[in-house]
């Protein structure tokens, strides 16, 4: 779960690195949100994934 949290933080950092006014560049509108969404999806998978016990 720490990996997912790191991906989410990375996504928000990418959004913050956008140099365009009001975050309207590629980093703030495309790449950052995709990375952040991937982090949240990773977190949901980590929470709801059931391990196989044999």
Task: Please check whether residue 27 is in contact with residue 45, taking contact to mean a CB–CB distance below 8 angstroms.
Answer: no
Task: Please check whether residue 3 is in contact with residue 42, taking contact to mean a CB–CB distance below 8 angstroms.
Answer: yes
Q: Is residue 43 situated within a structural domain?
A: yes
pTM above 0.85?
yes
Give the count of beta carbons closer than 10 Å to the beta carbon of residue 28. Answer: 19
pLDDT at position 5: 97
- Per the structure, the complete domain to which residue 9 belongs is given by 2-48
Q: Is residue 35 situated within a structural domain?
A: yes
d(CA 37, CA 8): 7
Q: Where are the alpha helices (DSSP H) in 1-54?
A: 2-16, 26, 32-48
Q: Is residue 53 situated within a structural domain?
A: no
Q: Is residue 18 situated within a structural domain?
A: yes
Q: Is residue 54 situated within a structural domain?
A: no
pLDDT at position 8: 98
* Tally of domains within the chain: 1
pLDDT tens figures, 2-44: 999 999 999 999 999 999 988 789 999 999 999 999 999 999 9
């Amino acid at each position: 779960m720490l990996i997912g949290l790191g991906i989410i933080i990375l996504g928000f950092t990418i959004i913050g690195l956008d140099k365009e006014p009001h975050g309207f560049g590629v980093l703030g509108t495309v790449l950052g949100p995709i990375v952040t969404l991937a982090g949240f999806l990773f977190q949901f998978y980590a929470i709801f994934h059931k391990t196989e016990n044999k």
